[in-house]
Copies of this chain bind each other. A is one copy, B any other.
Amino acid sequence: MMSERQIASEFQATALSPSRRWARHGHRGGVLWLTGLSGSGKSTLAVALEQELFSQGAQVFVLDGDNLRHGLNGDLGFSLADRRENVRRVAEVAHAFAETGMIVISAFISPLHADRDNARKMIGAGFHEVYLDADLSVCEKRDPKGLYRKARAGFIEDFTGISSPYEKPQTPELTLHTGIDQIEMCVAELLAYADTIFALSETKPE
């Protein structure tokens, strides 16, 4: 029996090419995929960068636990399987946003190499892995939300770095040393990187 799945590809797609949207926005779309331990500064950096890019006139949006965990991924828990499905859906949504020419800043721990690699394959050239390299000891010492303390005390299951693995990126496009450098410096580094990768190519004069 034929399934409707096979039929879906016949649906009419958007007639607007990414390049038309890029021209409108004045920049390319794509995804800055922030990955790192809890407490490594993902949300802080994401929000700071969003502000900066928006002030520059960019179309930019942060995808984080706050806007997805309660909604799209509200049916998922924190087991490794559910975390993987969480990351898969985040990647799909990030991809959809990037296709509208937006700059997406995703801020998720995304602990597994395989999942980040799937996101890379899905999103293609617009995917940029940014590793927030901060030692567990630093993150745990910061512990801004008291989560490590709770995890160590056994009140939180499957906590990345404590009772659930974090696989460091092997070849990220950018590494920020958020455990050592000041936040302002990291934001400046990330901004300089974003300005480069999302810039439209020069159009040749006639």
Contact = CB atoms under 8 A, between A and B. Distances in A.
Interface of A: 1-5, 7-16, 20, 24, 43-44, 47, 50-51, 54, 57, 59, 61-72, 77-78, 89, 92-93, 95-97, 99-100, 102, 122, 145, 147, 150, 154-159
A43 B11 contact: yes
Contact of A89 (B16, B57, B72): B72
Given A15-B47, A89-B72, A150-B2, A8 B77 contact: no
A145 B10 contact: yes
Contacts of A92: 68, 71-72
Q: How many copies does the complex hold?
A: 2
Given A2-B150, A122-B71, A150-B2, A66 B12 contact: yes
21 contacts: A1-B155, A2-B150, A2-B155, A3-B77, A3-B156, A4-B156, A8-B69, A8-B70, A10-B145, A11-B65, A13-B66, A15-B50, A15-B51, A16-B54, A24-B54, A63-B96, A68-B96, A71-B95, A72-B93, A93-B96, A97-B100
